[in-house]
């Protein structure tokens, strides 16, 4: 049964980007992130209630809380950049860059957490990095979109950087508490940060202008993220992490498939080779 949950986790994670892209055609990406985070927050606290770990809140010390807040801030920055990149660029380019945060996480863990770097990890880094470069360069930008192309690339890279920081800070922050509770606290920080961004940037009025259709897609995007988390943690509870994690990471295949169906974004031979490299690199990293 855990295999079904693992596949469900990858599926919902994969369609999150598709639903988000549909919801930010006219809606500002910061506003969309703030709205979406409300749904994700509800799911994260639902996980706390389901697992019965809410009573551990009183046991959180100052250091743990600090790193959870910092991790939440990094997560919020990553989501804001990711949505902005999705709004400007092609899904088949943005998602691989975001997924490359795995490589950055390994490098940061080597520097700050003193985790070893094996030959297997090194090969995985090369495969994922090469695959990302192939996918980004595998499709030429549409004429007249040169400025937007550079814009989305910057935000996509920042999304990966902040996602990597999230993993490092989160690892330190959940050292003494349940991961579900840590995720809920981090998501609460993300919600506060996202709405502060909306208020500071003077986009409060744009919340009322969000079209119902796009609002629905934004809500579904948050729902998909929540469903992915529920399936992921249920799969981890019953199945081996060495199998569950790579299945979840391969959500990129789901995203690529739906981007072709919904947005007609086709892969070139170079981009397809990039997908193969990322896939092999991710699986190899999970097996070592």
pLDDT per position as a tens digit, 1-34: 788 888 899 899 899 989 999 999 899 999 999 9
User: Measuring CA to CA, how many Å separate 174 from each of 26, 122, 179, 230, 244?
Assistant: 37, 27, 6, 18, 20
> Domains in the chain: how many in total?
1
User: In this model, does residue 145 exceed pLDDT 50?
Assistant: no
pTM of the model: 0.82
* pLDDT band (50, 70, 90) for residue 138: low
Q: Which of 74-83, 91-100, 234-243 has the lowest mean pLDDT?
A: 234-243
Provide the residue range defining the domain that includes 255.
2-287
Quote the DSSP letter at residue 52: T
Token pair belonging to 98: 């975001």
Does residue 221 contact residue 20 with C-beta atoms inside 8 Å?
yes
In this structure, is the dihedral angle defined by the CA atoms of residues 102, 106, 107 and 112, taken in order, positive or negative? positive
Distance between CA atoms of residues 53 and 18, nearest Å: 32
């Amino acid at each position: 049964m855990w295999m079904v949950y693992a596949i469900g986790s990858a599926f919902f994670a994969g369609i999150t980007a598709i639903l988000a892209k549909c919801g930010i055609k006219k809606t500002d990406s910061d506003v969309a992130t703030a709205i979406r985070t409300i749904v994700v927050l509800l799911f994260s606290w639902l996980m706390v209630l389901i697992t019965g770990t809410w009573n551990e809140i009183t046991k959180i010390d100052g250091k743990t809380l600090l790193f959870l807040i910092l991790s939440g801030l990094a997560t919020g920055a990553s989501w804001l950049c990711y949505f902005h990149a999705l709004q400007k660029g092609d899904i088949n380019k943005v998602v691989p860059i975001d997924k490359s945060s795995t490589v950055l996480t390994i490098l940061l863990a080597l520097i700050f957490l003193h985790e070893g770097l094996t030959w297997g990890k090194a090969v995985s880094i090369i495969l994922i990095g090469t695959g990302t470069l192939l996918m980004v360069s595998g499709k030429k930008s549409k004429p007249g979109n040169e400025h937007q192309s550079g814009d989305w690339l910057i935000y996509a890279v920042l999304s990966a950087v902040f996602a990597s920081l999230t993993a490092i800070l989160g690892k330190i922050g959940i050292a003494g508490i349940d991961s579900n509770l840590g995720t809920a606290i981090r998501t609460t920080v993300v919600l506060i940060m996202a709405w502060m961004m909306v208020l500071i940037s003077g986009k409060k009025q744009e919340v009322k202008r969000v079209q119902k259709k796009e609002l629905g897609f934004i809500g579904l995007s948050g729902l998909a993220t929540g469903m992915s988390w529920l399936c992921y943690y249920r799969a981890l509870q019953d199945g081996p992490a060495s199998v569950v994690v790579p299945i979840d990471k391969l959500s990129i295949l789901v995203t690529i498939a739906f981007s072709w169906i919904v947005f007609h974004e086709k892969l070139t031979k170079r981009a397809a080779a990039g997908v193969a490299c990322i896939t092999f690199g991710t699986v190899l990293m999970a097996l070592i």
